[in-house]
């Protein structure tokens, strides 16, 4: 060190001087280290606290959005269920009234039959017949006399029950309709019970979503699944996008005959750009149609007055019909262009005779299929606006959850860095004190020696 060996006294003198300098500057260097390490730790801790608060606010906003969206959905469902029950109430009343009338009629018939049965006194009649027959035949116990007595009893019972056979037959005929009516009443009761349970469940969830207490809203929002509906809607949207690509390839080639294929728009061919514009306009018309019809709420059309929504509904319907007709014409034109290209290729190869050049074919199955696709795809794009609403809404909610998790992770990282810096500062201070432990030990010894003298001075002064 500095060209000196460990055995040289100059080296030890330099080390002793450095230790003394460190001892003298201990209060200032301690303050510097504390200011650097503890100050940075405090700043990082404050950043972590702010990030944690921001994460909690994001999650609270997510809960409020989910709760409000769920409450709005449940409100619409409850209104639709109420309207459905109001429409079905007269029918249900009519059905129940008819069934009850039939049951009343069956009950009256059963009452008459039961009264007829009660009027029959089989016990007394049977005993009288048996007693008279035995008295007429004497006290013999022969089998013939007993058999004759039994046959007389059977005949007497049959004669007594013969007037009741119509009531018995009527009773049998009434039991089956009665069972059917009871089954119908039970099915209506079960249906109404299921509806009431679902309404009570939706109403309970709706009340929790609009409850003034945040904890109730949070519990109601946490029970709602946003990932599964988002994935299902995304799957439907993927299928719809395949229809968009199919529609693009169907109309791209005929568009070249309309707009030409010599120009480019931002490096894209004009037929391609025109086909994309047509598909975009079809999608916009579909969204407007669904919003104006009240099926979706992607735009602000649902907040417009009813007359304006009607106008937009009819306009969007007319535009989609026009686009369907336009794409059907493009499909026919595409088939004609394909036929012309094939004919040109055959002529170039010499496969088509000259006398057959003027012949034209009828409408092929391929052209019919393309026309059907051209007519249906714009309406399918309009229907795709339904899952698009769920995709957009749930994507915003999922994005908030992701932001919540990211801010929580950053808050955790900054908190760890603050703890590490604080621990590192304490470690540096301990190492610093370790380097000057000898002067510190001497200082402590002097303090212990001077402590009794100070106590005596303090007691004498008092």
The C-alpha atoms of residue 129 and residue 152 are separated, in whole angstroms, by 7
**Arithmetic mean of pLDDT over the chain:** 76
* Percent of the chain predicted with pLDDT > 90: 10
pLDDT per residue over 32-80, tens digit each? 888 888 889 999 999 999 999 999 999 999 998 888 888 888 888 888 8
pLDDT per residue over 347-373, tens digit each? 766 665 544 444 444 566 777 777 787
The C-alpha atoms of residue 50 and residue 414 are separated, in whole angstroms, by 10
pLDDT, average across residues 123-136:
58
pLDDT per residue over 163-174, tens digit each? 666 666 666 666
Q: How many CA atoms lie within 13 A of 350 on its CB side?
A: 0
pLDDT, average across residues 101-120:
60
Residue among 364, 14, 393 at smallest CA distance from 224: 393
Can you give the pLDDT at residue 294? 81
The C-alpha atoms of residue 435 and residue 430 are separated, in whole angstroms, by 9
Residue 376: burial class (beta carbons within 10 Å; 0-12, 13-18, 19+) = middle
Confidence of residue 132 (pLDDT cuts 50, 70, 90): low
Residue among 377, 237, 257 at smallest CA distance from 298: 237
What is the pTM for the complete model shown?
0.63
Kindly give, in sequence order, each residue whose CB lies less than 8 Å from that of residue 171, ignoring residues fewer than 6 positions away: 109, 110, 113
The C-alpha atoms of residue 450 and residue 42 are separated, in whole angstroms, by 39
**314's tokens:** 């009819």
pLDDT per residue over 74-83, tens digit each? 888 888 877 8
- For residues 392 and 233, is the Cβ–Cβ distance under 8 A? no
Kindly give, in sequence order, each residue whose CB lies less than 8 Å from that of residue 251, ignoring residues fewer than 6 positions away: 275, 278, 279, 327, 330, 331, 334, 374
**Measured CA angle at 210 (ends 209, 214), to 5 deg:** 75
Can you give the pLDDT at residue 368? 78
* Bridge partner residues of 265 (DSSP): 268
**Measured CA angle at 367 (ends 362, 372), to 5 deg:** 130
Instruction: Find the helix or strand (DSSP H, E) in which 392 lies.
Output: helix 385-435
The C-alpha atoms of residue 134 and residue 257 are separated, in whole angstroms, by 117
Strands (E), 221-276: 264-265, 268-269
Q: At what angle do helices 365-383 and 227-259 cross, to 10 degrees?
A: 130
Can you give the pLDDT at residue 342? 66
- CA distances in angstroms from 170 to 122, 173, 177, 184, 419, listed in the order given: 21, 5, 11, 22, 93
Question: Which of 107-111, 185-189, 196-200, 406-410 has maximum average pLDDT?
Answer: 406-410
DSSP 6: T
The C-alpha atoms of residue 462 and residue 455 are separated, in whole angstroms, by 11
- For residues 209 and 71, is the Cβ–Cβ distance under 8 A? yes
The C-alpha atoms of residue 405 and residue 396 are separated, in whole angstroms, by 14
The C-alpha atoms of residue 148 and residue 277 are separated, in whole angstroms, by 106
Sign (positive or negative) of CA dihedral 169, 170, 171, 173 = positive
**13's tokens:** 């003198």
């Amino acid at each position: 060190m500095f060209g000196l060996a460990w055995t040289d006294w100059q080296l030890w003198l330099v080390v002793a001087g450095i230790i003394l300098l460190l001892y003298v500057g201990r209060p200032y260097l301690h303050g510097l280290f504390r200011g650097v390490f503890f100050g940075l730790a405090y700043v990082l801790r404050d950043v972590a606290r702010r990030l944690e608060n921001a994460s909690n606010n994001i999650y609270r906003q997510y809960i409020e959005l989910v709760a409000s969206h769920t409450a709005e959905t449940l409100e619409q469902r409850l209104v639709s269920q109420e309207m459905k029950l109001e429409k079905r109430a007269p029918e249900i009343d009519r059905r129940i009234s008819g069934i009850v009338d039939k049951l009343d009629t069956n009950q009256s018939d059963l009452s008459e039959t039961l009264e007829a049965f009660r009027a029959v006194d089989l016990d007394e009649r049977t005993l009288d017949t048996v007693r008279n027959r035995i008295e007429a035949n004497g006290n013999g116990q022969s089998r013939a006399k007993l058999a004759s007595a039994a046959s007389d009893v059977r005949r007497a019972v049959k004669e007594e029950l013969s007037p009741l056979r119509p009531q018995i037959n009527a009773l049998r005929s009434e039991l089956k309709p009665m069972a059917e009516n009871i089954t119908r009443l039970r099915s209506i009761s079960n249906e109404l019970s299921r509806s009431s349970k679902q309404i009570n469940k939706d109403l309970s969830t709706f009340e929790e979503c609009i409850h003034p207490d945040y904890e109730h809203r949070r519990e109601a929002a946490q029970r709602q699944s946003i990932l599964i509906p988002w994935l299902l809607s995304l799957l439907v949207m993927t299928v719809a996008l395949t229809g968009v690509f199919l529609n693009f390839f169907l109309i791209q080639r005929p568009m070249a005959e309309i707009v030409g294929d010599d120009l480019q728009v931002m490096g894209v061919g004009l037929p391609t750009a025109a086909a994309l514009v047509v598909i975009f306009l079809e999608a916009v018309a579909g969204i407007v149609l669904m919003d104006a019809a009240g099926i979706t709420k992607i735009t602000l059309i649902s907040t417009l007055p009813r007359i304006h929504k009607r106008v937009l509904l009819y306009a969007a319907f007319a535009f989609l019909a026009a686009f369907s007709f336009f794409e059907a014409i493009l499909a026919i034109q595409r088939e004609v262009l394909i036929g012309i290209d094939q004919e040109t290729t055959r002529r170039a190869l010499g496969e088509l005779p000259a006398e057959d050049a003027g012949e034209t074919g009828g409408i092929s199955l391929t052209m019919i299929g393309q026309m059907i696709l051209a007519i249906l795809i714009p309406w399918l794009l309009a229907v795709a606006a339904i899952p698009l609403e769920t995709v957009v809404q749930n994507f915003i909610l999922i994005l908030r959850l992701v932001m919540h998790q990211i801010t929580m992770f950053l808050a955790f990282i900054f908190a760890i860095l603050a703890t590490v810096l604080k621990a590192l500062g304490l470690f540096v201070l301990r190492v610093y004190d370790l380097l000057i432990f000898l002067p510190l030990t001497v200082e402590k010894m002097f303090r212990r020696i001077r402590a009794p003298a100070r106590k005596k001075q303090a007691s004498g002064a008092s």
